[in-house]
Amino acid sequence: MQKLGDFKLPHFFNYPPYFTLQPVKETREKQIQLWKELILDYCRTQKIFVIKLEEEFPLFSNSVIERTLSHEAREAFLSALVAEGRSEWLDKGRRSCLILWHRIQDWADIIVNFVKDNGFEDSVMTVEEIRSGIESRGTELHGIDRTILMRALKLLEQKGKLAIFKGTSTDDEGIKFSV
Amino acid sequence: MGNLLAKKPKITEVDRAILSLKTQRRKLGQYQQQLEAVIEAEKQAAKDLIRENRKDRALLALKKKKAQEDLLKQVDTWLINVEQQSEINIDDFQKLMDDTEEAKAYQDEINAILGEKLSAEDEEEILAEFEDLETQMAVQDMPEVPTRAESEEQKLNLPDVPTKKPVAADAARDDAEIASEDISTKRRVMEEPLPA
């Protein structure tokens, strides 16, 4: 089985027809399903949050079988993820895609658990600390995409679980928890 | 919490103070990393210049390295202080912010001094370090330049957090621009990693 680093690629990845967007509806649907799962799995294990369609992305080509996904195919697979709520286009031109291998709500739950596990209720943290501080090392939050993090935090703010604030203009953004 | 109008927590002055402190800590930590990278680059530059037999420029690189190391010590002191602020009160915080103002002035002072001639003592120390470096290179070792003993008082003097990254490439380029026969000591020996 072929591997990308530590990641085990599924069998279909080595089968040329899968790199061509299938014309027959039923076949295409199956194809899309497989690719959706592969993209999500890969991004989850590699902690990838954004895919840029026009750039080199390891899943988009297989040099062993000499195949590369066309732009149309890439857009089709990612659009399918968007339709499922597992992805969002970051620009109108559909060149960049945010991958939600955890949904925003999932991330919100992860944050709440993180706060409870570490006893951070009623305390103040900076957004950067959540992303890259010592406390978040080893957790899923470490290295999280900033856009996704802010969305999850805003969701929690609406629910009254925290407040986002700034002191002076040079401060990082702060979070006061009340979970 | 079944409350439909869930209210988010109120932000107090203490919260804002903590936020400022944490921001400072992060920036200082970053700055420290950048300084370490610059120090390594300066050290390497000095070794390369010795190889090319350019004593005067190697000396300059070592002076820069020394300045960076001193700054790093200041940052470390500040970081330790920041981290120990577990229970902050407003007065303490105000004092820290005042000290930052002081540190800003101190930093400007440093920049001015570095542009001038170093004291005889400093020159001696640097030359000793330099000779040591030469000796170590002669035996094909990876030199560890000796740090000098702490002679300065440990004031809570804080360097201003830079808004621009110090760039090692600038150091090399500055070196290249200095004429080998006339190193004016009035010229700024340290490029500006720390705009006031």
Q: CB–CB of B82/B28 below 8 Å?
A: yes
B91: pLDDT strictly greater than 80? no
| Partners of residue A135 in chain B, C-beta under 8 Å | none
More confident residue, B122 or B168: B122
pLDDT per residue as tens digits for the range A29-58? 999 999 999 999 999 999 999 999 999 999
User: What pLDDT score was predicted for residue A91?
Assistant: 93
Q: Phi, psi (5° rounding) for residue A124? A: -110, 130
User: What pLDDT score was predicted for residue B190?
Assistant: 40
User: What pLDDT score was predicted for residue B180?
Assistant: 37
B184: pLDDT strictly greater than 50? no
User: What pLDDT score was predicted for residue B95?
Assistant: 66
User: What pLDDT score was predicted for residue A143?
Assistant: 93
Question: Do residues A85 and A170 both lie within one domain?
Answer: no
More confident residue, A137 or B193: A137
Distance CA B24, CA B27 (A): 5
Nearest to B6 among A122, A160, A172 (CB): A160
| Partners of residue A153 in chain B, C-beta under 8 Å | none
Q: In sequence order, what are the beta bridge partners of A62?
A: A67
Distance CA B15, CA B76 (A): 24
A122 torsion bin: left (phi>0), alpha (psi -120 to 50), beta (else): left
Question: Do residues A169 and A135 both lie within one domain?
Answer: yes
Q: CB–CB of A166/B23 below 8 Å?
A: no
Which of A36, A71, A99 is where one domain is finished?
Answer: A99
Which of A99, A123, A150 is where one domain is finished?
Answer: A99
Distance CA A161, CA B149 (A): 51
* Chain A with chain B: Cβ pairs closer than 8 A: 60
User: What pLDDT score was predicted for residue B4?
Assistant: 54
Q: What DSSP state is assigned to residue A91?
A: S
Rg (CA), chain B: 21
B159 torsion bin: left (phi>0), alpha (psi -120 to 50), beta (else): beta
Count of the separate structural domains present in chain A = 2
User: What pLDDT score was predicted for residue B120?
Assistant: 64
More confident residue, A92 or B135: A92
CATH number of the domain that residue A124 is part of: 1.10.10.10
| ipTM for the complex shown | 0.72
Which of A41, A66, A99 is where one domain is finished?
Answer: A99
pLDDT per residue as tens digits for the range B168-181? 444 444 444 443 33
Task: Kindly determine whether residue A124 and residue B23, on different chains, have CB atoms separated by under 8 Å.
Answer: no
User: What pLDDT score was predicted for residue B73?
Assistant: 78
CATH number of the domain that residue A68 is part of: 1.10.10.570
Q: If you average pLDDT over every residue of chain B, what do you get? A: 64
* Confidence band of B111 (pLDDT split at 50, 70, 90): low
Q: Which two tokens stand for residue A135?
A: 């406390």
Residues near A133 by beta carbon (within 8 Å), at least 6 away in sequence: A125, A126
Q: If you average pLDDT over every residue of chain A, what do you get? A: 93
* Confidence band of B56 (pLDDT split at 50, 70, 90): confident
Which H or E run includes A35? helix A25-46
Distance from the B131 Cα atom to the nearest Cα atom in chain A, whole angstroms: 41
Mean pLDDT of A135-160: 94
A59: pLDDT strictly greater than 90? yes
Nearest CA in chain B to A161: B8
Question: Do residues A115 and A160 both lie within one domain?
Answer: yes
Task: Kindly determine whether residue A172 and residue B22, on different chains, have CB atoms separated by under 8 Å.
Answer: yes
User: What pLDDT score was predicted for residue B69?
Assistant: 78
Question: Do residues A118 and A72 both lie within one domain?
Answer: no
Task: Kindly determine whether residue B19 and residue A167, on different chains, have CB atoms separated by under 8 Å.
Answer: yes
3-state secondary structure chain B: CCCCCCCCCCCCHHHHHHHHHHHHHHHHHHHHHHHHHHHHHHHHHHHHHHHCCCHHHHHHHHHHHHHHHHHHHHHHHHHHHHHCCCCCCHHHHHHHHHHHHHHHHHHHHHHHHHHCCCCHHHHHHHHHHHHHHHHHHHCCCCCCCCCCCCCCCCCCCCCCCCCCCCCHHHHHHHHHHCCCCCCCCCCCCCCCCCCC
Task: Kindly determine whether residue B20 and residue A167, on different chains, have CB atoms separated by under 8 Å.
Answer: yes
| Partners of residue B16 in chain A, C-beta under 8 Å | 165, 167-168, 171, 174
pLDDT per residue as tens digits for the range B18-43? 888 888 777 777 777 887 888 888 88
Task: Kindly determine whether residue A176 and residue B11, on different chains, have CB atoms separated by under 8 Å.
Answer: yes
Nearest to A168 among B18, B20, B26 (CB): B20
Question: Do residues A17 and A51 both lie within one domain?
Answer: yes
Q: CB–CB of A111/B11 below 8 Å?
A: no
Question: Do residues A92 and A144 both lie within one domain?
Answer: no
* Confidence band of A125 (pLDDT split at 50, 70, 90): very high
Task: Kindly determine whether residue B20 and residue A160, on different chains, have CB atoms separated by under 8 Å.
Answer: no
Nearest to B8 among A129, A157, A167 (CB): A157
Mean pLDDT of B151-163: 46
Domain limits, chain B? 13-116
Task: Kindly determine whether residue A172 and residue B26, on different chains, have CB atoms separated by under 8 Å.
Answer: yes
* Confidence band of A122 (pLDDT split at 50, 70, 90): confident
> Most B CBs within 10 Å: which of A126, A130, A155, A173, as the mutation test of the B interface?
A126
Question: Do residues A144 and A111 both lie within one domain?
Answer: yes
Q: CB–CB of A179/A153 below 8 Å?
A: no
Question: Do residues A27 and A95 both lie within one domain?
Answer: yes
B33 inside 8 A of chain A by CB = no
Task: Kindly determine whether residue A160 and residue B3, on different chains, have CB atoms separated by under 8 Å.
Answer: yes
B155: pLDDT strictly greater than 50? no
Domain, as residue range, for A165: 104-177
